[in-house]
Amino acid sequence: MGNIVVAPPNSAVIVSGCRGNKIVLGRCGFAFWFIEEARSLSLEIMTITVTSQECETTQGVKINLQSYAQVKVKSLKPDGTLNMEAIQLAATNFLSASQWEIQDALQKTLEGHQRQIVGTLTVEELYKDRAAFSERVYEHVVDDLERLGFELASYTVASIGDLNGYMESLGKTQTAIVSREAAEGTARNQAESRKAIAKYNADADIVAAENAERSYIRRQQQGEQQAEADRLLDLRKAQNRMEVNRADAEAASAKDIEYAKQKQAIVEAMATQRLREEEVMLKVKDVELQQAVNVARREAEALKLQAEAMGEKERFVGEAEADVIKMKGKAENSILRNRAEIYKKFGHDAIVQNVVEVLPALAREIAQPLGKTEKMIFVSSDGSSASNLSKDIIKAAAQLPDAVESLTGLDLKKALKRLEGGK
């Protein structure tokens, strides 16, 4: 079937074949047998020694120059992502080449640019400013390396020399100049140093005198300031004492005022409570009064209804009594009329006869209550109690004619006398 291809992070594996080109970096891949091939391309930094022999400067001086360059495949973009285009470009140019062949090709490219830049500079410029030379080489070679899929990590000049002693003479001249300038500088510095020392001593004396004067003035000013500070401190203390006393007085007053306010608040609260209680009592009294009014109203209505009922009752009783009286009158009138008719029909003697016949019955009715008496006790001083009872009964019977006369208007005594005379 095929092989599993493992690509470490410092090497890119390019799988090419029926599926085209595929770059595997930092992971696993797969390559079919016979129809696909997997080759690796190193992404590590390569240190290349760039040596230029007998390079001519703009002055025609031949020099020898040796530098070191750090070169690698441009596998990352500035944002940190993989640069597959550069890896693909480096693989296109150097996939089948060995590591030595790649370094040789890059070394020749760098050496050509190095010679080219040397030809535009003087020996003095190379000698004095190697950094500028390195910067110019970097600027020229970076484009060519990117077209190959590589990048220049660093470039430094190691040594510069010549076969004719020019650099040595230049060094000696420069050394002599530096020595002369050093001696002049030493003498000048010593003279300037003595002048400076004298000047500094004079200035020091002046400064010392001025400092002494300023010190005296400063001490006087400090004394005045101290006295003023003491005065201000005393004033401040007195003011603080006044403020403390004022604060104490205000605190005491505030305490009394607060006590008075609290007492007033208590009095107001008690007055408010009493007012509320009185309002409640008034409301209760209003309710009780209203209830009493309602009760009185109901009692008045009841009395009114009772009075009306009594009036109705009295009216009905009066009407009934009037009817009774009226009926009684009618009955009496009827009796009188009947009596008159009887008188007309039977005559006076017949009436007397009837009344006489009724007298025994009347006497019996009068004595009937005595017949119901089970036991009678008579108390008398002369022993005539029983006879007195008989006398009373006889007296009551004797009064019957008078009763008949009062009821009927018939005088039995006269009638009996008249009957007796007729006989």
pLDDT in tens, 362-383: 666 666 666 666 666 656 556 5
pLDDT at 83 > cutoff 80: yes
End-to-end CA distance of the chain: 192
Is the predicted pLDDT of residue 101 greater than 80, yes or no?
Answer: yes
Distance CA 63, CA 55 (A): 5
The more confidently predicted of residues 6 and 187 is 6
SS3 breakdown of the chain: % helix, strand, coil, rounded to 5? 70, 15, 15
Q: How confident is the model at residue 218 (pLDDT cuts 50, 70, 90)?
A: confident
Dig out the tokens for 121 from the structure. Answer: 């500079």
- Give the residue-averaged pLDDT of 191-207: 78
Residue given tokens 């360059």 in the structure block: 69
52 C-beta neighbours (distance < 10 Å), count: 19
Neighbours of 5 (CB within 10 A): 19
**pLDDT confidence of residue 150:** 92
The structure tokens listed for 120 are: 């535009």
Distance in angstroms (rounded) separating the CA atoms of residues 412 and 356: 8
Q: By the 8 A CB rule, do 145 and 48 touch? A: no
List Cα–Cα distances, 88 to 12, 32, 179, in angstroms: 10, 20, 58
- CA pair distance 265, 370, nearest whole angstrom: 97
- The gap from C-alpha 258 to its chain's centroid, in whole angstroms, comes to 35
Q: Is 1 helix (H, G, I), strand (E, B) or coil?
A: coil
CA distance 356 to 416: 9
pLDDT tens per residue across span 126-171? 877 888 888 888 888 888 899 999 999 888 888 888 777 776 676 5
Of residues 71 and 61, more confidently modeled: 71
Q: Where residue 106 falls among pLDDT bands split at 50, 70, 90?
A: very high
pTM: 0.40
Q: How far apart are CA 352 and CA 346, in angstroms?
A: 10
Length of the chain: 423
Instruction: Provide the CA 194 distance to its chain's centre, in angstroms.
Output: 82
Q: Would you state the structure tokens that stand for residue 366, as one six-digit string? A: 């009068």
Q: Kindly report the three-state secondary structure assignment for every residue of 164-229.
A: CCHHHHHHHHHHHHHHHHHHHHHHHHHHHHHHHHHHHHHHHHHHHHHHHHHHHHHHHHHHHHHHHH
